[in-house]
């Protein structure tokens, strides 16, 4: 057990080191820009993974919390003289309170019904973004959102944004890994495996689901706020149903219940559109196809597939070493 | 210890239980037997808060627990095991038992995410405690095995270890011997007695008559949703109505 824990800390530190060193070796700004979006999407995927991968509760309305974070931050800083950092905190707080309140009725539902309810929530929020033109600017979007700043340090270029977003992402990843191996993480996984047995063991399943739903909304809203302040322009199109499906695809392709899997899924799905441009609107068909193939042949996602391959190769090497000896 | 008062359960037009009452003495082993469809599992589901009865009351000690949720009952010291072994299949054997210690620990989301010192200490404590319960049931060697890979008999033992981790006053076991071979069943009888020695009251639904007659001090017989008899194993074996229900009247 101790060895396992040490190895995990080592893997995380290695991952963090690579993330922090990448900009030094990257000359072009374009690729850094893509990496900023990978960071934001990783945040969102980790948030959904806590809910779907650990507690086993689906949400097709994650884009709504992402959008709420972006719009609350955007509106507060463009329409009122609110500091962007304060706006970020308020946005995350508001989204959490909303998630907590709607979580109680919604999370009573299971399976398809839960998917439909969260889908409905996502669509309602999307319509609000579109129709409250006086506040959100409607379909033409909201522009002129100020950048975050830390003293004289303004997060207005790709390099600075990269560090801003990735410090946040690394933090959330570390906290999520800690959470997954704790009493709370075990209770969540227990609910996923057998809700009845978890309750008989004294796990308050309803409250636990609402709590993790709230955490998930909190992290998604932070991602939304970061998104708004880094690209300074937002429009409803980024927060629609399609994006919720994309997030779901990231989590499942990467691996349910794996934090690094979420990073992998987010990376692939963020880069993929560049290559799928030739298919135009049919890209969602490709996502669907990927989902089907992964769930059929790699139920533990790409990260599970990679772990499995490493194990097989390690055993082969061990086997041939024994043969030679 | 446990008192069931005039429980009636109606599913649609079907009366699964009709006016069933009995009480269970503290520290005793009570068996609930009866032919298939007698309402034994329904009775367990009502007592453990999974079903809401149509009528009647359940008491734990002096406390009316009639409409309590299962998670509240666990905190009061009432747990159960399941007929179809409800393990947390994707988790290790040790982690399964650690979930049983959920009510014995209290770290919240915040302290777990930030690994506050109190949480680290608590985690260590419940890990050790969980290991002790695995030693109690003889599963310590399988601590790191993923639960879904356990053979069936060990799965049953794991379920009991997990339930014991809650440190219950009373444990309800739904057919603990189903699917076990004769050697495993003998081991189970020993384990049930060991649990009783810890001062825990035991109620079991069971079809294995040898086991029931062996360990139970008191037996309740259900048939077609009604209580047919309640007595010592000897009284039950000689009860005409019970024999008729099992073998048919002539």
Residue of B nearest to A257 (CA): B90
* Structural Rg of chain B based on CA atoms: 19
Contact flag B87-A194 (C-beta cutoff 8 Å): yes
Q: What is the mean pLDDT of chain A?
A: 92
Angle at B101 between CA B98 and CA B107, to 5 degrees: 95
Can you give the pLDDT at residue A319?
82
Q: What's the rounded Cα separation, in Å, for the pair A178 and B115?
A: 7
Residue A179, both tokens? 């959470």
Query: Is residue A264 pLDDT above 60, yes or no?
Result: yes
Whether residue A135 is predicted with pLDDT greater than 80 in this model: the reply is yes
The answer to whether residue A193 neighbours chain B at the CB level (below 8 Å) is yes
pLDDT classification of B248: cutoffs 50, 70, 90: confident
Residue A139: other Cβ atoms inside 10 A: 12
Asked if A197 is an interface residue toward chain B (Cβ–Cβ < 8 A), one would say: yes
B97 min Cα distance to partner chain A (Å): 10
Q: Has residue A71 got a pLDDT over 70?
A: yes
Pick the CATH number of A31-324 from 3.30.70, 1.20.1070, 3.30.43, 1.10.3470: 1.10.3470
Nearest one of A107, A95, A38, A24 to A65, comparing CA atoms: A95
**Residue A200 forms contact with B (CB below 8 Å):** yes
Q: How far apart are CA B229 and CA B235, in angstroms?
A: 9
Could you tell me if the ipTM is greater than 0.95? Answer: no
A113-116 contact pairs (CB < 8 A, 24+): A114/A57, A114/A58, A114/A59, A115/A58, A115/A60
Strand-pairing partners, residue B81, are: B173
* Chain A residue nearest residue B167, CA to CA: A201
Give the domain ranges of chain B: 2-247
Closest chain A residue to B144 measured between Cα atoms?
A1
Rounded to whole angstroms, the Cα distance separating A262 from A284 reads 19
**List of residues 6+ apart from A136 with CB closer than 8 A:** A71, A74, A75, A128, A129, A130, A142, A236
Reduced to 3 states (helix: H, G, I; strand: E, B; else coil), residue B230 is strand
- CATH fold for the domain made of B2-247: Rossmann fold (3.40.50)
Question: pLDDT at residue A41 above 90?
Answer: yes
Query: Residue A243: is its pLDDT beyond 70?
Result: yes
Q: Please tell me the predicted confidence (pLDDT) of residue B46.
A: 95
Q: How confident is the model at residue A2 (pLDDT cuts 50, 70, 90)?
A: low
Question: Is the pLDDT at B250 greater than 60, yes or no?
Answer: no
Region of poorest pLDDT, from A124-133, A205-214, B236-245 = B236-245
The tokens for B75 are 């905190």
Query: What is the percent of chain B with per-residue pLDDT over 70, rounded to a whole number?
Result: 99
Token pair of A205 as six digits: 């399943």
**Chain A residues within 8 A of B75 when measuring between CB atoms:** 202
Residues B34-72 pLDDT 10s: 988 889 999 999 999 999 999 999 999 999 999 999 999
Residue B123 forms contact with A (CB below 8 Å): yes
The pTM of the whole model exceeds 0.80: yes
Mean pLDDT for chain B overall: 93
Name the nearest CA neighbour of A165 among A222, A110, A235. A222
pLDDT-derived band of residue A5, with 50, 70 and 90 as boundaries? confident
Strand B29-33 versus strand B218-223 pairing type: parallel
Mean pLDDT, rounded, for B177-189: 93
Compute the distance between CA of residue A179 and CA of residue A32 in angstroms, rounded to an integer. 30
Residues 202-261 of A with CB under 8 A from B: 202-205, 211-212, 215
Give the number of A-B residue pairs with CB atoms closer than 8 Å: 101
Q: State how far residue B227 is from chain A, nearest Cα, in angstroms.
A: 26
B87-126 burial, b at 16+ Cβ within 10 Å, e below that, comes to bbbebbbbbbbbbbbbbbbebebebbbebeeebeebbeeb
Using the predicted structure, report yes or no on whether residue B146 has a pLDDT greater than 80: yes
Q: Is B105 helix (H, G, I), strand (E, B) or coil?
A: coil
Q: What does the pLDDT read at residue A325?
A: 60
Of residues B205, B119, B75, the one with CA closest to residue A186: B119
Question: The tokens of A87 are what?
Answer: 């706006």
With CB atoms and an 8 Å threshold, state whether B80 touches A200: yes
């Amino acid at each position: 057990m101790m060895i396992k824990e040490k190895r995990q800390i080592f893997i995380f530190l290695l991952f963090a080191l690579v993330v922090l060193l990448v900009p030094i070796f990257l000359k072009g700004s374009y690729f850094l820009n893509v990496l900023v979006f990978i960071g934001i999407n990783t945040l969102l995927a980790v948030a959904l993974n806590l809910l779907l991968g650990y507690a086993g509760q689906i949400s097709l309305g994650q884009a709504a919390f992402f959008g709420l974070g972006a719009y609350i931050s955007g509106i507060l800083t463009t329409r009122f003289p609110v500091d962007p950092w304060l706006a970020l905190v308020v946005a995350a707080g508001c989204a959490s309170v909303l998630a907590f309140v709607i979580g109680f009725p919604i999370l009573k539902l299971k399976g398809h019904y839960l998917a439909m309810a969260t889908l409905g929530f996502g669509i309602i929020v999307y319509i609000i973004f579109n129709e409250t033109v006086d506040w959100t600017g409607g379909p033409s979007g909201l522009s002129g959102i100020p950048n975050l700043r830390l003293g004289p340090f303004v997060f207005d270029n790709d390099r600075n944004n990269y560090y801003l977003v990735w410090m946040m992402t690394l933090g959330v990843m570390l906290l999520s890994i800690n959470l997954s191996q704790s009493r709370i993480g075990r209770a969540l996984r227990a609910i996923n495996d057998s809700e009845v047995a978890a309750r008989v063991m004294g796990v308050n399943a309803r409250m636990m689901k609402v709590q993790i739903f709230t955490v998930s909304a909190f992290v998604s809203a932070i991602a939304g706020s970061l998104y708004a302040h880094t690209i300074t322009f937002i429009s409803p199109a980024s927060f629609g149903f399609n994006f919720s499906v994309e997030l779901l695809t990231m989590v499942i392709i990467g691996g349910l219940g794996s934090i690094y899997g979420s990073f992998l899924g987010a990376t692939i799905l963020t880069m993929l559109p560049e290559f799928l441009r030739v298919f135009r609107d049919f890209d969602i068909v490709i996502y669907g196809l990927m989902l089907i193939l992964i769930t059929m042949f790699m139920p533990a996602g790409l990260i599970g597939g990679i772990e499995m391959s490493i194990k097989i190769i390690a055993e082969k090497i061990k086997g041939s070493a024994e043969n030679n000896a | 210890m446990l008192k069931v008062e005039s429980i009636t359960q109606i599913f649609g037009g079907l009366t699964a239980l009709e006016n069933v009452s009995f009480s269970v003495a503290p520290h005793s082993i009570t068996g609930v037997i009866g032919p298939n469809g007698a309402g034994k599992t329904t009775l367990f589901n009502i007592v453990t808060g999974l079903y809401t009865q149509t009528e009647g009351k359940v008491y734990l000690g002096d406390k009316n627990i009639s409409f309590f949720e299962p998670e509240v009952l666990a905190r009061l010291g009432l747990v159960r095991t399941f007929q179809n072994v409800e393990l947390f299949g994707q988790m290790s054997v040790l982690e399964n038992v650690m979930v049983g210690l959920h009510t014995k620990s209290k770290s919240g989301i915040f302290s777990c995410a930030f690994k506050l010192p109190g949480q680290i200490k608590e985690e260590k404590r419940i890990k050790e405690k969980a290991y002790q319960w695995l030693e109690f049931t003889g599963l310590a060697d399988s601590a790191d095995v993923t639960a879904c890979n356990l053979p069936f008999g060990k799965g049953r033992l794991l379920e009991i270890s997990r339930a014991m981790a809650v440190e219950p006053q009373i444990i309800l076991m739904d057919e603990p011997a189903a699917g076990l071979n004769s050697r495993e069943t003998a081991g189970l009888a020993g384990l049930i007695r060991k649990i009783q020695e810890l001062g825990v009251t035991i109620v079991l639904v069971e079809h294995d008559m040898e086991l029931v007659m062996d360990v139970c001090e008191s037996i309740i017989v259900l048939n077609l949703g009604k209580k047919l008899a309640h007595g010592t194993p000897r009284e039950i074996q000689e009860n005409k109505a019970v024999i008729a229900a099992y073998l048919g009247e002539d």
